Structure 1
Amino acid sequence: MKNRYAVILAAGQGTRMKSKLYKVLHPVCGKPMLMHIVNEVKQLNVAEIVTIVGHGAHKVKEVIGSSVSYALQSEQLGTAHAVMQAREQLEQKKGVTLVVCGDTPLITKETMEQLIEHHKQMNAKATILTAKADNPTGYGRIIRDASSNVQRIVEEKDATAAEKQIQEINTGTYCFDNESLFSALKKVNNNNAQGEYYLPDVIEILQKQNDVVAAYQTENFEETIGVNDRVALAQAEAVMRKRINEKHMRNGVTIIDPAHTYISPDVEIGQDTVIYPGCQLNGLVYIGSECKIGPNTELLDSKVGNRTVIKQSVVTESVIGDEVTIGPFAHIRPQSVLGNQIKIGNFVEVKKSTLADRAKASHLSYIGDAEIGKDVNIGCGTITVNYDGENKFKTIIKDGAFIGCNSNLVAPVTVGERAYVAAGSTITDDVPEQALSIARSRQINKENYVKQNNNEGKS
């Protein structure tokens, strides 16, 4: 909507993470936590998202991209000061502004939409997203009057013993009338122990002006978890993983052991596919229906067709067809394309190669920079010798060819249709179609060799 805006606070250094990586770029289920928030906010149909950056600003922009605008908080002087950095983009605009922290990766578009709707219903100038915490220690408490109206937010260090017993906490996510927000921000001071400008002070300023301040309590405290250290990062990872796995199971996917299955948010899986324990599905992965994946299989940025089986193997940036069997212990490296009904067996490595339908490499082979035709059989121990130390070269094996065990195909080389390569051959020249190529030393048998050597040794 034209009158909706969002400010994402992502300028903090995150010293408690004890990491060289900027805090909001730490991954949760394979995706930077800030990206989770940006993706959810985008679904609210906001006119503009302003991300407040500070430490590591260049890296954040590189990861998040140009779908949001940025404002720099060169000095971290508090949350109110951070929001104020968006004044150039937002100060003169009418509408509703959502403010959300960049270290809350579990918050959903549904909860933020409910917050905005409650804000509109209450005709409020500010609405606080709150939650009920079983252990509210460390959080600001929401103080309400007898009519359940919000009076103020009291921080932990300033709370009385009675106030510390309150379980409704401030999550750090707010909804504001945009003009009222920027007007109040100018009145925030830093007369506090930290010498910083705090966004909750805007609430007090609005109340003193007799403006309506509301609160919307979400039923899901887990969504509001802020990630400030590695412990909280692991907690967020567990919650997100559970959420993702449950979504797939409700959509008709069997996950044998959800606690030990790791699926990124952008993965798509067809019905009646079974995911076995220990699998990691990362990045942009698409898996068709009726597949069996795992156990202990890793897929990254790949597409898998229907009724395919992948056991204890790694597939990266590749396309796999229908009714393919891979593994165990196979490695499909980037830019590989496997057609339908392919068989890739144990300890086979495929790199930057195309295999047409029904091709087979059942065990112990390396296929690199190759074009393999239909119905090709590649024997055990075959190697496409693609690298001369400086350049890579291509091997072409045409339809129906048969490559015997322990063959070396020294690229660039072509094996013609329905040709045979004898076991143990090193092929350096093209093989014509339907030919048999033998390229190995002639066998020599030395009669009585052992007997003669033994007699010499005794004399």
Structure 2
Amino acid sequence: MDQWAAVIMAAGRGSRMQSNVPKVLHTVCGKEMILYSIERLSDAGITSLIVVVSESNYEPIKNVVGDGVEYVIQSDAKGTGGAVQTVLSVMESGVEHVLVHGADMPLVSEQSLRSLILSHTNDDHQITLLTSEIINSTDLGRILRNDQGDILSIREASEIVDANDISSEVNLGTYCFTRGILEDSLGRLNVKENGELYLTELIEIGCAQNVRIGSVYASNTNESLGVNNRVQLSQVESVQRKILLERLMIRGVTIRDPETVYVDADVNVGKDSTILPNTMILGDTKIGTGCVVGPGSTIKDSVIGNDCRVNNSCIERSVVNENVEIGPYSHIREGCTIGSNAHIGNFVEMKETVFGEFSAAGHFSYLGDADISGSVNIGAGTVTCNFDGENKLKTVIGKGAFIGCDTMLIAPVEIGAQAATGAGSVVTRDIPTARLAFGVPARIVAEDKNN
């Protein structure tokens, strides 16, 4: 599709969002709206993507989207017609067909875009529109046809006096144009009272010149839902979330109560896993097969191995290996790696900690900035005292060590392999391999702890 280019409209002020964030950077299921448009247009086969931005939103949009697209700045707010005029003036000469799409329509599917492109090409249209039956939007223009079904014009939403006295077919703001039509007709657009040029007027101009105009219905009526305010944002997110959950269920994931489960767009869950009610799986999270997550759990930007159980707990930016039990009511903060077959019980908090395989922390403990080897037992009430008021300091615990209840480990400190601490100890210095220490401050027993 070397002769195609897609123009993504992202320069609008979005004043109804009542936000300092550009409208197209508001997220739907954890992903910025504009990214849906870019990904689906790319998946539909268009490689030349041009994003129309304003002077004020160029930098924040580029920070999210990156350098994989071309940017055109619309200096003057002259509407959709003005935006396409600006793009056309800098478009490469080899482009013969232009697809125009609004970045605030994140539900428009790849399937609909492919159908639109195919119809435009195979039916030799000069203009092809993506349309749908109206759901509940009052922001979309209506398609006007004659008795033969030919498209005559688009009536803008602001021009509709009685919505019940007009067609229920709406314009989704996604079009295909031949380059020749744009070059011939954009200069004929009339300036509206608000100073803008409306791209929709090209339909009426084309009709008067017997231009070949076609249309394609969107694959699903929900694709007509766009975002102009926070209410519509929530409606679109609800639809997209349902799509994501159904996709997971079709792929073999059990979701007991989809109404109370929230997943983001980049989440991946393996088959035979179960997601229980009141659970949120967010960001770039990958969950293996045979897991049970929830109820009441939150996992964000983390990797969870196969056969894990996360019960009423929170995991952030961490890696959990296979066959691990976590919870209830534990918090795995960012930077943790949990080894296979580990057990983390209730009210345990970890941060920047490696927790070895077969190790256990069964009850209310804080483990921060720690490197804990395999087969270690952490007694209830253990705290790694990792902050001296200025710096975060490290605790190292060797393989097979036994940390007694209510032990305070004053970092930096190292507990040797097979070493042990007595209950209530305050450990201020290293404990050698296989030695016992207890007391306040802890003193090392002379003999090997096994004797």
Cα deviation 1:393-430 (Å, max 9, x = unaligned): 21111110000011111122111111111111111111
Q: 1:162 to 1:266 in 2, by over 3 A?
A: closer
**CA distance change for structure 1 residues 394 and 159 in 2, over 3 Å: closer, same or farther?**
closer
Does residue 76 in structure 1 map to residue 77 in structure 2?
Answer: yes
- Counterpart secondary structure, 1:86: helix
Identity of aligned residues (%): 39
Calculate the TM-score normalised by the size of structure 1: 0.92
TM-superposed deviation, 1:88: 4.5
Q: Cα distance 1:72–1:283, how it changes in 2: closer, same or farther (>3 A)?
A: same
Higher-Rg structure is: 1
Change (3 A) 1:62 1:137: closer
Structure 2: gaps spanning 5 or more residues = 443-451
SS at match of 1:116: helix
Counterpart in 2 of 1:2? 2
Count residues in correspondence.
441
Displacement of 1:94 after TM fit? Answer: 2.7
- CA RMSD, aligned part only? 1.8
Offset of 1:344 from its aligned partner? 1.0
Q: Who is 1:342 aligned against? A: 342
2:422 corresponding residue in structure 1: 422
Matches within 5 A, 1:139-158: 139-158=140-159
> What secondary structure is seen at the aligned counterpart in 2 of 1:248?
helix
Partner of 2:185: 184
SS at match of 1:24: helix
CA contact (8 A) 1:29 1:240 kept: yes
Match of 1:438 in 2: 438
Q: Secondary structure at the match of 2:214?
A: strand
Match of 2:445 in 1: none
Show the counterpart of 1:238: 238
Aligned match of 1:108: 109
For residues 375 and 159 of structure 2, the distance between their equivalents in structure 1, rounded to whole angstroms, comes to 76
1:226 matched to 2:226: yes
- 2:152 alignment partner AA: Q
Is contact 1:340–1:357 with CA below 8 Å preserved after alignment? Answer: yes
Indicate the SS of the match to 1:35: helix
Distance 2:126 2:111 in 1: 21
Which residue is 2:60 aligned to?
59
Distance in 1 (CA, whole Å) between partners of 2:334 and 2:159 is 56
Q: Deviations over 1:122-175 (max 9, x none)?
A: 201110111011557553221223332222222345458698331111111111
User: What amino acid sits opposite 2:108 in the alignment?
Assistant: I
CA distance in 1, matches of 2:139, 2:382: 63
AA in 1 matched with 2:238:
A
Q: Name the CA shift for 1:411/1:47 in 2 (closer, same or farther; >3 Å).
A: same
1:13 is displaced (CA, Å) by 1.1
User: 1:228 offset after TM fit, Å?
Assistant: 0.6
The one-letter amino acid of 2:264's match is S
**SS of residue in 2 equivalent to 1:246:** helix
Matches within 5 A, 1:229-378: 229-378=229-378
| Cα offset, 1:219, TM superposition | 4.2
Distance 1:364 1:418 in 2: 23
Contact 1:141–1:163 (Cα < 8 Å) also in 2: no
| Contact persistence 1:416–1:432 (CA under 8 A) | yes
Distance in 1, Cα, partners of 2:4 & 2:298: 40
Larger mean Cα displacement after TM superposition, 149-158 or 8-17: 149-158
1:380 partner letter: A
Deviates more, 1:335-344 or 1:433-442: 433-442
Report the CA distance shift for 1:88/1:357 in structure 2 as closer, same or farther (over 3 A): farther
How far is the alpha carbon of 1:441 from its aligned partner?
6.4
Q: Which whole-Å CA distance do the structure 2 matches of 1:95 and 1:417 have between them?
A: 71
